[in-house]
Structure 1
Amino acid sequence: MLGNENEQRPTFLLVDGMALLFRAFYGTAVTGQFMINSKGVPTNAVQGFLKHMLTATNHFNPSHVAVCWDMGSHTFRNELFDGYKANRSDAPVEMIPQFDLAKEAVQAFDIPNIGLAGFEADDCIGTIAKVSAKDSRVSILTGDQDMLQLLDEHISVVLLKKGFGNYDVHNPDSFYEWKGIKPRQMIDLKALMGDTADNYPGVKGIGEKTALKLLMEYESIEGILENLSSLTKGQRTKIEAELEMLHLSRKLAEIKCDVPISCPLDDAYFQYDDEKVRYMLETHEFRSVLRML
């Protein structure tokens, strides 16, 4: 019965715009292939982003699509912790004109661009995914494993692998088989082990292996703290020394799913005007994408 219900639901692909754009940029930038057009504008990130997005729409055939973006680097997480993402350098100069260009390209496909100042794309994706999952099957296209905390019965996460069209598709069952914990426990996992990419430490000296073992045994940070006396002396000492950072790291790790934005399903219906898209691609000389149409 559930299978039939799933078949009848619309399929909504939520695209993590920044994850795809940066992935595409660094995939070609290392060899200096910025694909500068006749106007002097680099297009490597946007072309790679569009190829990732269109390969996925061809592969998964969603009925609805939306793209979520970060809107500036400062978010509520920086208010909580000064060091949040402080290790990241400014975007390369070749990347800067491509942020607006990517949104313009998405708009040409009549796909909504979504973002809200003060929040990350992850928070927008989490909010829209949770609301949309009531009526549709949601897939999140990203390269970011943080999104795995959002998995549930009607939300899957499509992780990009190397190249184009190679994916690891996860649902709660496959995630449990892989990590041995439930998706929501991913938040506590990151709180314990920290995140070098986002620059918060978690509990110094506790890596993924120990964090997973503790969560398998005690389920949550609360469960671990209630059973401190059962931990090894080393584990107990490390956790007690970093209690404040542990709780803060959990706040930083959790994707907010109550951001004041919305994306009604009707707005994201995936159907574009071929002529309008070709005009945009030709104007900006997106030759590698034109070949895909």
Structure 2
Amino acid sequence: MNKPNFLLVDGMALLFRAFYATAVTGQFMINSKGLPTNGVQGFIKHMMTAVSRFKPTHVAVCWDMGSTTFRTEMFPQYKANRGEAPVELIPQFELVKEVVEAFDIPNIGIPGFEADDCIGTLARKAPGEVGVSILTGDKDILQLIDDRISVILLQKGYGNYLVHNRESFYIEKGIWPEQMIDLKALMGDPSDNYPGVRGIGEKTAIKLLQQFNNVEGILENLHQLTAGQRKKIEEDLEMLHLSRQLAEIKCDVEVECNLDTAFFKIDRDKVLDKFTEVEFRGLHKLIPAEQEVV
């Protein structure tokens, strides 16, 4: 029997990517009930293409549960730069979960936390003999990579991936995955709307982390920094610490996913019945006629 491989899917990342890929040309794929389905159809295509390629034994999908989290309580401006979801996307948040249920794949989310926190916790909690892969388009999740957790980053189109483990990440970035938290603490994250240290960009931040390992190491060696770097950090010290807290994915939230419930075995008739109900077209090709026992 092959080693178990648990695929954790970043549901929001896939759904948003799929929605905007077609929404830009107005292809909302509205069915006879007046329900837009473009995001859900693209989500299924992303998920099943990856399943076909990476052949996981277990699958679970993690979701955000609203925009209010412990991070917005710490920093009200967190993600405040993001507009309301388009009206065509809103009904698809529930629809996509219904379709995932038809695959007998667990939908997982906890109010007050982001999907990333659920993914991080489940990845770290997985039994030692289980390999973990995370399917996402969100580079924040790269901080979770360790000796048994890899990240599959979606690239443009379907079936194009950049797969990162510890070594490949280091080769690309010059720092280790766990140092990403400190990198974002220093340089901030415009997409999540927190500034880090004003005036410290990625290049400088990486150089400092290569030299001093983490934020604590940098602060212990401020005397070795240039006068300009030292001044910037000292003036934004509070935001540096806050940004680090915002950047770090929590891996100890109250979430469970029994591996037995995540065992991946498709009931083809059940899935195709759901596809017919929602009026999906062309996706039946992604559902194998007979499933090989892994």
SS of 1:54's equivalent?
Answer: helix
Matched, 1:191 2:185: yes
TM superposition shift of 1:135: 2.9
Matches for 1:15-94 after TM superposition, within 5 Å: 15-94=9-88
SS of 2:153's equivalent?
Answer: strand
Matches for 1:1-293 after TM superposition, within 5 Å: 8-132=2-126, 134-293=128-287
TM superposition shift of 1:134: 1.9
Gaps of 5+ in 1: 1-6
TM superposition shift of 1:292: 2.6
- For residues 272 and 102 of structure 1, the distance between their equivalents in structure 2, rounded to whole angstroms, comes to 16
Deviations 1:31-86, CA, capped at 9 Å, x for gaps? 00000011110000000000000000000000000000000110000111010000
- For residues 110 and 64 of structure 1, the distance between their equivalents in structure 2, rounded to whole angstroms, comes to 11
Q: TM-score under structure 2 normalisation?
A: 0.96
TM superposition shift of 1:272: 1.4
- For residues 148 and 167 of structure 1, the distance between their equivalents in structure 2, rounded to whole angstroms, comes to 14
Deviations 1:200-243, CA, capped at 9 Å, x for gaps? 00001111100000000000101111111111111111111100
Residue identity in the other structure for 2:43: F
TM superposition shift of 1:250: 0.3
TM superposition shift of 1:252: 0.2
- For residues 292 and 258 of structure 1, the distance between their equivalents in structure 2, rounded to whole angstroms, comes to 35
Q: How many residues are treated as equivalent by the alignment?
A: 287
Deviations 1:160-189, CA, capped at 9 Å, x for gaps? 000000000000010111111111100000
Residue identity in the other structure for 1:288: G
SS of 2:135's equivalent?
Answer: strand
Residue identity in the other structure for 1:98: Q
Gaps of 5+ in 2: 288-294
TM superposition shift of 1:133: 5.1
- For the 8 Å contact 1:47–1:288, the answer to whether it is kept is no
- For residues 134 and 285 of structure 2, the distance between their equivalents in structure 1, rounded to whole angstroms, comes to 26
TM superposition shift of 1:291: 3.5
- Alignment identity in percent? 68
- For residues 237 and 9 of structure 1, the distance between their equivalents in structure 2, rounded to whole angstroms, comes to 51
- For residues 240 and 255 of structure 1, the distance between their equivalents in structure 2, rounded to whole angstroms, comes to 25
Residue identity in the other structure for 2:70: F
- For residues 26 and 227 of structure 1, the distance between their equivalents in structure 2, rounded to whole angstroms, comes to 45
TM superposition shift of 1:287: 0.6
SS of 1:67's equivalent?
Answer: strand
- For residues 256 and 128 of structure 1, the distance between their equivalents in structure 2, rounded to whole angstroms, comes to 11
Which residue of the partner structure matches residue 4 of structure 1? Answer: none
